[in-house]
Homo-oligomer: A and B are copies of this chain.
Amino acid sequence: MSKVFSTAGEALGGLCHDGLTIMSGGFGLCGIPENLIAALRDSGASDLTVISNNAGVDGFGLGQLLETRQIKKMISSYVGENKEFERQYLGGELELEFNPQGTLAERIRAGGAGIPGFYTKTGVGTLIAEGKEHKDFEGETFILETGLKADIAIVKAWKGDAEGNLIFKATARNFSPMMAMAGQITVAEVDEIVPVGALDPNFIHTPGIFVQRIVEAKCEKRIEQLTVREA
């Protein structure tokens, strides 16, 4: 019962159906599972609810699934980089649920950790709090946020092994460790699959229990805002 697959398409084999809830890692285009997103597009599965901090850019990342109209609803914190997104949203073709970024991260962690709800002060007194339960702790008011789970989580890691153990590089880590926990099935694409035992057990970011499938795949890794200084 190997976790290792040869291609992103095979790694998603048998999993993609209309109406699924998908979590997709990454912050902007940093740490997105490029190949798995493309394979999800190729699967043709539609009416998807996608939980991801951002929505990609036009024609790349989750933008690919927007072009093909496979996404019914996005749950995100910021979607400013995508004209097609804006067009579909303003046209009423796409549902959108905004979450504060930290609330989104914590809701995903909670979903993976068996916590159905938690209280936070983020968003109290704002639109985000409307319709949510309010509760006071030690004289301060908090709102109830619920855990989020997904049918499938797709994440991008730096290195992984056949047990599903993963490590991430730099800020490409972002939402992926929590999403790996919150996916009923988690599929990881990695820059490199290394032999079991090559990763130091002290420094594994995502233990293999959270990863059901893994594939080595080459990423393009586009940069959104190339910013440099004088040498």
Complex: how many Å from CA A16 to CA B200?
38
Pick the most buried of A113, A119, A203: most chain B CB atoms within 10 A of its CB: A119
Complex: how many Å from CA A116 to CA B137?
7
The residue in chain B whose Cβ has the minimal distance to the Cβ of A110 is: B118
What chain B residues lie within 8 Å of A117 (beta carbons)?
A: 118-119, 135, 137, 142
Number of residues of chain A lying within 8 A (CB) of chain B: 25
- Which of A29-37, A43-51, A52-60, A166-174 is near enough to bind chain B? A166-174
The residue in chain B whose Cβ has the minimal distance to the Cβ of A121 is: B114
B116 touches A106 (CB 8 A): no
Q: Give the interface SS of chain A, mostly helix, strand, loop or mixed.
A: mixed
A114 touches B120 (CB 8 A): yes
Provide the A88-115 mask, 1 if CB < 8 A to any CB of B, else 0: 0000000000000000001000100111
Query: At the interface, yes or no: A202 with Cβ under 8 Å from chain B?
Result: yes
**A interface residue numbers (CB < 8 A to B):** 106, 110, 113-121, 135, 137-138, 140, 142, 146, 167-170, 200-203
A-B contact pairs, 22 of them (CB 8 A): A106-B113, A115-B118, A115-B119, A115-B120, A116-B137, A116-B138, A116-B142, A117-B118, A117-B119, A117-B135, A117-B137, A117-B142, A118-B119, A137-B146, A167-B202, A167-B203, A168-B202, A169-B202, A170-B201, A170-B202, A200-B203, A203-B203
